[in-house]
Structure 1
């Protein structure tokens, strides 16, 4: 343990009064050597009580330091934290999650044990924010291949695996010296862009599935749909802004689905062939969605999920597809 490198934990934060206390409790309870780590909470001048909660923790915890981030941009927060940090290893954490006691240590040990890895992360397990059925359904969809695609940090893996991205990420400091910081033009998906840039420069990203954190996805209907739409919008707008594709094939599937629905609606009334193809595709999609919902409902022993899960899956695909289309066509996404 005494040989572990000095670790800087960087946390972008803005108006997280409902989560920040439990989050800080989980981070500060980690078993990483206290004299070998610092925690930088980079706050975007929160107005909901987050700063007051953080100040109480800062007053009694010498490892914690609150850093001001006027404007509350997430990539700016990450860059401020990195520039303020002293660690040989830098890990990025999300406030909407809690972390197992060994999370920090195991991420760093993963880097030490795999000298060819530049970024190490684990699996993000999803739990509902409250007891409502919708919140439970959203959390279940969050880690299902029908909504998450092949994102291993969400659906899991049988063992350590080289991947295209991980949740958060534990980086060697040399990575930032080599390829630069997070792109501050990207309000969202800055992690996708950074990890794509890292891989393009020859870097490697390792998922270790035994490393686990618990994430609380947005369970309110409006928040869930808006978050899904914005995630897709920024994957495509961000790609246009930086002048290269930063996503994966899984980001394109909902766009194809929505484009197909739109094409069938326009051409279907004039073509029997289009109607047949559309009917076959939608029938297959319906069987897949209902079958997946049925298996989830049986596993969770909750019959109501058989009704709610197909709605959540369909809303995920449509809102992500629409966000992709707008991000692809939005004039504001032109490369700058």
Structure 2
């Protein structure tokens, strides 16, 4: 049986540091080269990315550079989908590298599971910079305590139906059936699309034998800003589209921040509030240290004992504050 034609859609903006290695991993795929097109949709990068892509395109005739003025990620995805000629559309991220059989496994996943509309795998993080903090940030995204229950982060023992996956390998007909990505959402567009897909009767399948390597942020300020945004967008996007697109794991940090902030604010006037604040901090600290110890042992990295509790606390506080702002931000009202 002839394999379906695949269109790889890649949103991109100012990725000169990563794009060459990424494209090398795409071109190394074992999927038949005559059954693939690579559509890199660039937001008019000004850091040398476009020159690197053009150089790769000279050696890879299936690679096309498309323009995306304004560098909106959902607009990039929609531009790529509109240009795609494939029966299968695969969304890839420049901050990742992919095993040579990644495409083949994704397509086989669709072919072997006809009820699946979107197939994805496990995202395995590496630090962009090999520092104690960078390693802690990367490791924290794989643990239930630090990242919640998203299976594409924490892993799974076998195939599972899930709410979302990293990237995604879609049947082209899905976009005809449920539409494309919401361009009013600067982030969380994947989550919103997959929620819309499932609401229409579609299914998202996680196959743990499919994996990619993602380069996690290592700079502390950048990590804080990214975590705030990660907390903000599920709530902002839900308000914008008029329905809840998140899950229980998105709500937990909000509860933590509200309880801790409320008890701390009342502590000067209430002995019970002081006890509550101390109890929350004590229980949280014990859980963070236990998780840090387990992960430090697993990765044979003693530095994680010190850095992981800091990363955990930063994650949950920044995410929770971002979520609260996502609830309150007047800009979320859709006109």
Q: Shorter-chain TM-score: which interval?
A: over 0.9
Q: What aligned pairs does 1:2-151 form with structure 2 within 5 A after superposition?
A: 3-151=2-150
CA RMSD of aligned residues (A): 1.0
Q: Deviations over 1:121-149 (max 9, x none)?
A: 00000111122111111110011111111
Say yes or no: does 1:313 pair with 2:312: yes
The aligned residue for residue 161 of structure 1 is 160
How far does residue 52 in structure 1 lie from its aligned partner after superposition?
Answer: 0.2
The aligned residue for residue 286 of structure 2 is 287
How far does residue 271 in structure 1 lie from its aligned partner after superposition?
Answer: 2.7
Counterpart-to-counterpart distance in 1, 2:129 and 2:277: 38
Counterpart-to-counterpart distance in 1, 2:89 and 2:62: 15
Counterpart-to-counterpart distance in 2, 1:253 and 1:335: 26
How far does residue 273 in structure 1 lie from its aligned partner after superposition?
Answer: 2.7
Counterpart-to-counterpart distance in 1, 2:334 and 2:258: 24
Q: Deviations over 1:208-252 (max 9, x none)?
A: 001000001111001111111111111111111111111111011
TM-score by length of 1: 0.98
The aligned residue for residue 200 of structure 2 is 201
Counterpart-to-counterpart distance in 1, 2:233 and 2:286: 31
Counterpart-to-counterpart distance in 2, 1:304 and 1:243: 44
Q: What aligned pairs does 1:175-186 form with structure 2 within 5 A after superposition?
A: 175-186=174-185
Answer yes or no: is the 8 Å Cα contact 2:260–2:280 preserved in 1: no
The aligned residue for residue 262 of structure 2 is 263
Counterpart-to-counterpart distance in 1, 2:58 and 2:171: 29
Answer yes or no: is the 8 Å Cα contact 2:116–2:204 preserved in 1: yes
Q: Deviations over 1:229-288 (max 9, x none)?
A: 111111111111111111111011111111111111222223333333332222111111
How far does residue 71 in structure 1 lie from its aligned partner after superposition?
Answer: 0.7
Q: Deviations over 1:171-192 (max 9, x none)?
A: 0011100010000000011001
Query: Segments of 4+ in structure 1 off by > 4 A?
Result: none
Counterpart-to-counterpart distance in 2, 1:206 and 1:323: 29
Aligned length: 335
Counterpart-to-counterpart distance in 2, 1:134 and 1:154: 19
How far does residue 3 in structure 1 lie from its aligned partner after superposition?
Answer: 1.6
How far does residue 169 in structure 1 lie from its aligned partner after superposition?
Answer: 0.4
The aligned residue for residue 213 of structure 1 is 212
How far does residue 18 in structure 1 lie from its aligned partner after superposition?
Answer: 0.2
Partner SS, residue 252 of structure 1: helix
Partner SS, residue 127 of structure 1: strand
TM-score by length of 2: 0.98
In structure 2, stretches of 5+ residues that fail to align are: none
Partner SS, residue 211 of structure 1: strand
In structure 1, stretches of 5+ residues that fail to align are: none
